[in-house]
Amino acid sequence: MGTDPSPADAAVPLDIGVTTVMKVEAVALAVFLSAVFGWLAVGLGRGYGPAGWTIGTVLFAAVAGTLITAAVRTFRHRAWLEGDTLAVQQAFSVRRFDLARADVLLRWAEEQENPPGPRTGVIAMVVRTPGQGRGFRVRLLDARNRRIPSAQLLALADAIAARDGSPQVSALSLREAASGAA
């Protein structure tokens, strides 16, 4: 008797994250800039007394908090498919979208540059859950601005096409883009 696969086993990772080098650079930059602003905070405290310490501490806390949040966001950013559900890891949370029910809009490279001819370069999709506000933009490019692999585009197309058996324009367009990327 076999065991049922766990959702983690069925997950399809999407190559939309950042490279390890970019992650290390983001953390190094955050540490360096935090140290610079810490040094400035100490300088303000020494030069202007208690008011300087207060201003320096608030400035340091604001800048360091922002930099650390940006570094964490860069470090943790990734996306994957769990069946028909797209999951996007953000800095401190995971957003999930049921692609079989969501409204999906594709953004094309040609919309940025407006060349004549057929569309070939899908670069992002905007996913909006019905009944909720704004859409959530997911880049379909890797860290080097190359389109994600064809197998991943096809997995996205399958998840979108799962909607009540009817063909979806977004799914067909992703399949077409995947066949052009092969």
The structure tokens 């899908």 sit at: 122
- List of residues 6+ apart from 122 with CB closer than 8 A: 106, 107, 108, 109, 140, 147, 153, 173, 174, 177
With a cut of 50, list the residues of the chain below it in pLDDT.
1-9, 111, 114-119, 182
The structure tokens 């602003």 sit at: 37
**Cα dihedral 156/157/162/168 (nearest 10):** 140
Residue 166 pLDDT = 53
Residue 12 pLDDT = 84
Q: Give the whole-number percent of the chain exceeding pLDDT 90.
A: 0
The pLDDT tens digits for 119-136 are 456 678 888 887 777 788
Distance of CA 170 to the CA centre of its chain: 19
Computed over every residue of the chain, the mean pLDDT equals: 76
Residue 182 pLDDT = 46
pTM of the model: 0.66
